[in-house]
Amino acid sequence: MGDITKNTKFINVCWTCGKHHDLGDLSFERPDGQGYKCDACPGFVISPSGKVQGFLAPVVKIFLVEDGETHRFAAKDEEECREYYKELYGEDLDEESDVTEITDPEEWNRKFIHVEDQPGLASIIDIINESTEFPTIISSTVY
């Protein structure tokens, strides 16, 4: 598990039903030793002894854009993603292009070749952590 930065947040997962909970500052512990109960089942999200499970999530949305090539962008919403695409490539994303939000934590953490002519793998989370402003491009043509 990587470190939380200003660009990522920890999402807690219920120990019993697996529901995702965005608890903000409460993510890791409850000072009263009562734990934190799930709102979807009788289970704990944070156990009374402070045990948690979860994953890092980007604080921005991640979009997969397929326009013949494959791109990934980080933006606050689809509209901002489309505006940023236009800014980068000088043209509107056409109607047939697919814009899909990537919401799978495994996909956020999967390592892929980031820059074609440079060695080393990076995940979406890695790239988000290094980004200083949004929207931004995460990848173009994914391996």
Q: Is 17 in the site for Zn ion (CB under 5 A)?
A: yes
CA–CA dist 36, 52 (Å, integer): 10
x/- mask, Zn ion, residues 41-60, rule CB under 5 A, reads x-x-----------------
Q: Which is nearer to Zn ion, 19 or 83 (CB)?
A: 19
CB 46 within 8 A of CB 36: yes
Rounded Cα gap, residues 82 and 95, in angstroms: 11
Is residue 72 within 8 A of residue 61, CB to CB? The reply is no
Report in angstroms how near the CB of residue 33 gets to Zn ion at its nearest.
Answer: 20
Rounded to a whole number of angstroms, the distance between the first and last alpha carbons of the chain is 23
Q: Tell me whether residue 4 or residue 13 sits nearer to Zn ion (CB atom).
A: 13
Please select the residue that binds Zn ion; options are 7, 14, 27, 36, rule is CB under 5 A.
14
Answer yes or no whether residue 16 interacts with Zn ion by CB under 5 A: yes
The amino acid at residue 84 is: Y
Count CB neighbours of 17 within 10 A.
Answer: 12
Number of chain residues interacting with Zn ion (CB under 5 A): 8
Q: What angle do CA 83, 129, 24 make, to 5 degrees?
A: 95
By CB under 5 A, is residue 38 in contact with Zn ion? yes
Nearer Cβ to Zn ion (39/69): 39
- Give the interface segment with Zn ion, choosing from 9-17, 48-56, 72-80, 131-139 (CB under 5 A): 9-17
- Contact positions toward Zn ion, by CB under 5 A? 14, 16-17, 19, 38, 40-41, 43
